[in-house]
Structure 1
């Protein structure tokens, strides 16, 4: 599975303004709703609904908020890099530096699980997040996500 088919270069955002989980989720859902013509309030509520079950801050500086939606026909990723760190209520109680929002069609459960697995595996491999945090180049981040 090549992650590159699920995001454009402009779906990688490097910024340090947002510092809380709610701010980041609101920002990412607004970006996704604008780009993919989705209802932003509905999307935000779907993401929060998932977060209430269990945080998607899986540890190691990574969070993977996600939702399965009936009104899309393809999976999408939006990636936010925050070098200062976000209080995301992560499982390891550490700040999160990389947030990957995954949106999947409701009827493509296998794709959704495969994407969650690929993103989690790739970004929890030793030094991958450190490498991403050391660059300001979206091209470098795209390369790392394609490895």
Structure 2
């Protein structure tokens, strides 16, 4: 139920902003509507941005993270790992330049190499 999940993301965003330095938004939620951890990546068109409450301004790169409700430790682990990668400018720029879903998936997956499952 995508709408119900996005409603949870929206209310989560109201509790605490998820903007990171460097023009990044990292909205996320654990949800009973999610059956496996997933990350959707969006890059704003030139001249456009979205406000995720970061100190240095709005985001042009957005990663929406969805995790199953029961996956508490995995949620925190993935969130921390992806956030660490997003603090690196070359990682952010690689995502912004990637115009191909496979390249984006490869970048995200390679930053999450700690996963055995």
Bin of the TM-score, shorter chain as denominator length: 0.7 to 0.9
Say whether residues 1:82 and 2:59 are aligned partners.
no
Aligned length: 109
TM-score, scaled to structure 2: 0.78
Q: Distance in 1 between matches of 2:25 and 2:101?
A: 19
Structure 1: where are the runs of 5+ without partners?
1-37
The superposition leaves residues 82-118 of structure 1 with CA deviations (integer Å, 9 ceiling, x where unpaired) of 2434131432242212211111111110010011111
| Greater displacement, 48-57 / 63-72 | 63-72
Paired position in structure 1 for 2:31: 69
Whole-Å separation in 2 of the counterparts to 1:90 and 1:102: 17
Task: Determine if the alignment matches structure 1 residue 58 to structure 2 residue 20.
Answer: yes
Structure 2: gaps spanning 5 or more residues? 112-117
Taking the aligned partners of 2:98 and 2:7, their CA distance within structure 1 comes to: 32
Kept after mapping to 1: 8 A contact 2:29/2:65: yes
Instruction: Decide whether the 8 Å contact of 1:61 with 1:94 is kept in 2.
Output: yes
For residue 140 of structure 1, report the CA deviation from its aligned partner. Answer: 2.9
TM-score, reference length from structure 1: 0.64
Alignment check: 8 A CA contact 2:50 2:60 kept: no
- Map 1:85-124 → 2, pairs under 5 A: 85-124=48-87
